[in-house]
Amino acid sequence: MYEILKIAFTFFLMMDPIGNIPLYIASLKNLPPKRQRVVILREMLIALGVIVMFNFLGEGLFNFLKITQDTIKITGGIILFLIALKLIFPPSVKPQETITEEEPFIVPLAIPLVAGPSILAAVMVYSGQTESNLEIISAIVIAWLASLSILIFSPLIARFLKQKGIMALERLMGLILVMLAIQMLSEGVSGFIVHECLIKTTSS
């Protein structure tokens, strides 16, 4: 259960629901509140389906290519680190740029705001590290439910936190993700070194 919660927390950070609050509010502001909740649920369900699909894709791909666990951890650590940097130093994108007169569908609320390249790559990486698909899917669902809860109540959260509060929380999440990335990278490097030493010892 600890491992599932740990992975779920990582996925939650990469879904970045706190950072997506201004973008969701801006995209849905022309819709009535009830319709906003329906659209959020629909888009989140689409995002969930895409993320779960990439879990199975990643497992099959790594098995086919015979990529080792240490390689997956090193790659995952680098990917998480780059994602964390974007959370700490976000690009200057204005929420108004996502506003459209029509009701948003799939783009941009489901993809790429929730099911973006970062979470999809991370799911593929984690699927190669664990033996059970149930663990990854459970982690995805837990992270998804937490993100859905935040986005459903995004207007209330935005009024409470204000813009500065949202930015501060997003940077805090990025800092935590940096530490998780470094831990994963160090585990991969140490495992790779041990593996190479064992190969040299047995060959000699």
Task: Extract long-range pairs of 91-96: CB within 8 Å, 24+ residues apart.
Answer: 95/22, 95/23, 95/25, 95/26, 96/26
Contact 73, 184 (CB under 8 A): yes
Residue 142: the pLDDT is 97
The model's pLDDT over 113-140, given as tens digits with 9 standing for 90+, comes to 999 888 888 898 888 777 778 999 999 9
> What is the distance between the alpha carbons of residues 52 and 100, in angstroms, rounded to a whole number?
28
Residue 192: how many other CB atoms lie within 10 Å = 16
Whether the predicted pLDDT of 82 surpasses 50? yes
pLDDT for the residue 95: 45
Confidence band of 101 (pLDDT split at 50, 70, 90): low
* Mean of pLDDT over the chain: 86
Most confident of 73-82, 88-97, 103-112: 103-112
**For tokens 């664990």, what's the residue?**
130
Q: How many CA atoms lie within 13 A of 42 on its CB side?
A: 13
